[in-house]
């Protein structure tokens, strides 16, 4: 009996036959993402509890078989479910989908990794909760915990999601279980409301890492406000945008804009509103500049969107006026959304899959009712870097993000996400059709070139997907050596997610 066969027998004993998958169709689907990959998955494990996760990892340790954990597997544009290294057994945590605790007064929700944004939204709505959990621009079926661990971004005042979580339960690669913050102490009443606990904080070690499998997390919720209005306005020229970035940064800093807000370039806005206009290009790509100019006549070069929230209408009207004043001379008129009390806004937790249309930008068929970019052969790669919140820095980084995709015959889909008053996320989406020969190679070459130029200019990734970086990112300190020692200490056999984030 081979090592893998022996491990599979033990996993089947621990999880049941139905939760250890080796069927070729299931493995092929898990090996597929929105860009070219070569990794092969020998099996899929589906534990249903923390104890079963522990059992899976103990078997993996005993047989020295690498295991790659995922929550919902909808990390589209960053790698979906595909492991970083070939031959890794996939461990899917979607069966662990329980809401474990909820407190309305203290505004928190504790969940397992299989709980999705849609599930959490529905759970709170069914109970008439006045609270909401920040939602994302990606799939409503994405995992709360998976997104938080990737330090993903959301809509609303808790847009930097990992900043608003605590009390994690983690299974280490050897099967040991640890809890972070106060949660490790018996009967600790403050465990779900105080992040740091006592002594060194461990939470950050388990985000964007391969040091443990998170099986529980507490999310801090936000209370809905009586006054919320979404806004959108457009900017005609790039030069106007950079001054507006500086003005809006001050409104974020003084609390006028307490929700996240977004700067979308013309291509990004178009790709959400419609698919590539093949009917006007004779089927050819990329989109000619003159045609882009025509298509963006309705809204300009950039679209800026967000939401104003306040405790009453008087304060809300004041905040609206402050925003309108900041726009003077730089933007087209401000458009405000409804004040209807029954309107459910994404800025108050309503999930939506509207933004998934971007992945179908160059596809010939429309986005289906139940989108799945992996299954539908969408080509899609995210490049995400951190940029200081100034007009000058935004201009410099955006210039690179606009120029490089054009060199590879791809439309520059660029956004600046304002998640805090001090830092912007610059996110670039490379969208193409995987069914067109040669496009996988072209898109990956573009991604690596884009990453390289941004790093050379001083803009480093805030999140990396499966493609990673073509070469090891150099550092000016000994942090990488420290992280390597930590990895060797908790995972000496290197069985947990080898290759993830370079380890």
Q: DSSP letter string over 1-23? A: --HHHHHHHHHHHHH-GGGEE--
pLDDT of residue 25: 97
Per residue, the 3-state secondary structure of 294-363, as one string, reads: HHCCCCCCEEEEEEEEECCHHHHHHHHHHHHHHHCCCCCCCEECCCCCCCCCHHHCCCCCHHHHHHHCCC
- Neighbouring CB atoms inside 10 A of 436's CB total 14
CATH architecture of residue range(s) 227-463: 3-Layer(aba) Sandwich (3.40)
Residue 120 and residue 123: Cα distance in Å, rounded?
5
- 3-94+492-502 has which CATH code? 3.30.43.10
CB atoms under 10 Å from CB of 321, counted, come to 11
Residues whose CB is less than 8 angstroms from the CB of residue 152 and which lie 6 or more positions away in sequence, other chains included: 136, 138, 161, 162, 463
d(CA 33, CA 52): 27
Q: Does a cis peptide bond (omega within 30 degrees of 0) precede residue 249?
A: no
DSSP class of 183: G
| Angstrom distance (rounded) from CA 496 to CA 487 | 10
Residues of the chain with CATH 3.30.465.10: 99-223
pLDDT at position 503: 77
| Sequence-separated (6 or more) residues with CB below 8 Å from residue 23 | none
Cα(362)–Cα(354) distance, integer angstroms: 16
Task: Classify 107 in phi/psi space as left (phi over 0), alpha (psi -120 to 50) or beta.
Answer: left
Bridge-partner residues for 21, per DSSP? 44
CA nearest neighbour of 65 among 39, 85, 51 = 85
Nearest to 442 by CA among 452, 433, 451: 433
Cα–Cα distance measured from residue 99 to residue 108, given in angstroms and rounded to the nearest whole number: 11
CA angle 408, 80, 85 (to 5 degrees): 90
User: For position 390, what pLDDT does the model report?
Assistant: 98
Q: What is the widest separation between alpha-carbon atoms in the chain?
A: 75
Could you give the residue range(s) of every CATH 3.40.462.10 domain in the chain? 227-463
* CATH 3.30.43.10 residue window(s) in the chain: 3-94+492-502
CB 134 within 8 A of CB 158: yes
Q: Which of 219, 150, 175 is nearest to 382 (CA)?
A: 150
Measuring CA to CA, which residue among 204, 199, 206, 171 is closest to residue 185? Answer: 199
Per-residue confidence (pLDDT) for residue 336, from 0 to 100: 82
**Dihedral angle over CA of 150, 497, 460, 486, nearest 10:** 100
CATH fold label, 99-223: 3.30.465
Are 133 and 140 in contact, with CB atoms under 8 Å apart?
no
Query: CA angle, 68 as apex, 62 and 69 as ends, to 5°?
Result: 110
| Residue 305 and residue 231 in contact, taking contact as beta carbons nearer than 8 Å | yes
Q: Give the pLDDT of the chain (503 residues) as one tens digit per residue.
A: 689 999 999 999 999 999 999 999 999 999 999 999 999 999 999 999 999 999 999 999 999 999 999 998 999 999 999 999 999 999 999 999 999 999 999 999 999 999 999 999 999 999 999 999 999 999 999 999 999 999 999 999 999 999 999 999 999 999 999 999 999 999 999 999 999 999 999 999 999 999 999 999 999 999 999 999 999 999 988 889 999 999 999 999 999 999 999 999 999 999 999 999 999 999 999 999 888 888 777 678 999 999 999 999 999 999 999 999 999 988 877 788 877 666 789 999 999 999 999 999 999 999 999 999 999 999 999 999 999 999 999 999 999 999 999 999 999 999 999 999 999 999 999 999 999 999 999 999 999 999 999 999 999 999 998 887 666 678 889 998 999 999 999 999 999 999 998 77
DSSP summary character for residue 137: S
Residue 54 DSSP one-character state: H
| pLDDT reported for residue 471 | 63
Nearest to 168 by CA among 115, 231, 212: 212
Interacting residues of 346 by C-beta distance below 8 A, sequence separation 6+: 135, 155, 352
């Amino acid at each position: 009996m081979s090592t893998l066969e022996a491990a599979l027998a033990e996993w089947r004993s621990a999880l049941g036959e139905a939760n250890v998958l080796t069927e070729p169709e299931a493995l092929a689907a898990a090996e597929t993402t929105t860009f070219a990959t070569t990794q092969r998955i020998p099996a899929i494990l589906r534990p249903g509890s923390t104890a079963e996760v522990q059992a899976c990892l103990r078997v993996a340790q005993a047989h020295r078989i690498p295991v790659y954990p995922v929550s919902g597997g909808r990390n589209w544009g960053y790698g979906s479910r595909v492991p970083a290294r070939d031959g890794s057994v996939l461990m899917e945590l979607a069966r662990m989908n329980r809401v474990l605790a909820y407190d309305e007064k203290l505004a928190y929700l504790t969940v397992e990794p299989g709980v999705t944004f849609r599930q959490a939204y529905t759970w709170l709505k069914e109970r008439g909760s006045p609270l909401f959990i920040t939602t994302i621009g990606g799939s409503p079926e994405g995992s709360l915990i998976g997104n938080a661990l990737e330090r993903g971004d959301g809509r609303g005042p808790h847009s930097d999601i990992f900043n608003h979580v605590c009390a994690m339960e983690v299974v280490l690669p050897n099967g040991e279980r640890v809890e972070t913050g106060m949660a490790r102490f018996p009967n600790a009443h403050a465990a779900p409301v105080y992040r740091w606990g006592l002594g060194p904080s461990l939470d950050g070690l388990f985000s964007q890492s391969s040091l443990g499998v998170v099986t529980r997390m507490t999310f801090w919720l936000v209370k809905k406000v009586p006054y919320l209005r979404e806004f959108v306005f457009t900017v005609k020229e790039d030069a106007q945008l950079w001054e507006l970035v500086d003005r809006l940064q001050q409104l974020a800093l003084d609390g006028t804009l307490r929700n996240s807000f977004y700067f979308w370039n013309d291509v990004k806005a178009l790709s959400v509103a419609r698919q590539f206009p093949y009917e006007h290009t004779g089927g050819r790509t990329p989109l000619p500049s003159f045609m882009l100019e025509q298509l963006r006549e309705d809204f300009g070069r950039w679209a800026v969107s967000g939401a104003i929230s306040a405790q009453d209408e008087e304060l809300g009207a004041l905040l609206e006026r402050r925003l309108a004043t900041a726009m003077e001379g730089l933007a087209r008129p401000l458009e405000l959304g409804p004040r209807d009390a029954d309107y459910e806004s994404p800025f108050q937790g309503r999930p939506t899959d509207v933004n998934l249309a971007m992945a179908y930008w160059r596809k010939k068929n429309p986005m289906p009712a139940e989108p799945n970019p992996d299954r539908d052969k969408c080509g899609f790669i995210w490049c995400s870097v951190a940029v200081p919140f100034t007009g000058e820095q935004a201009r410099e980084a955006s210039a690179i993000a606009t120029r490089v995709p054009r060199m590879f015959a791809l439309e520059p889909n660029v956004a600046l996400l304002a998640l805090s008053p001090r830092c912007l996320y610059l996110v670039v989406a490379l969208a193409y059709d995987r069914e067109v020969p040669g496009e996988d190679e072209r898109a990956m070459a573009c991604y690596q070139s884009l990453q390289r130029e941004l790093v050379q200019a001083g803009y480093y990734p805030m999140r990396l997907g499966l493609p990673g970086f073509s070469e090891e990112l150099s550092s000016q300190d000994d942090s990488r050596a420290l992280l390597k020692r930590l990895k060797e200490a908790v995972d000496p056999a290197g069985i947990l997610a080898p290759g993830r984030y370079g380890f």
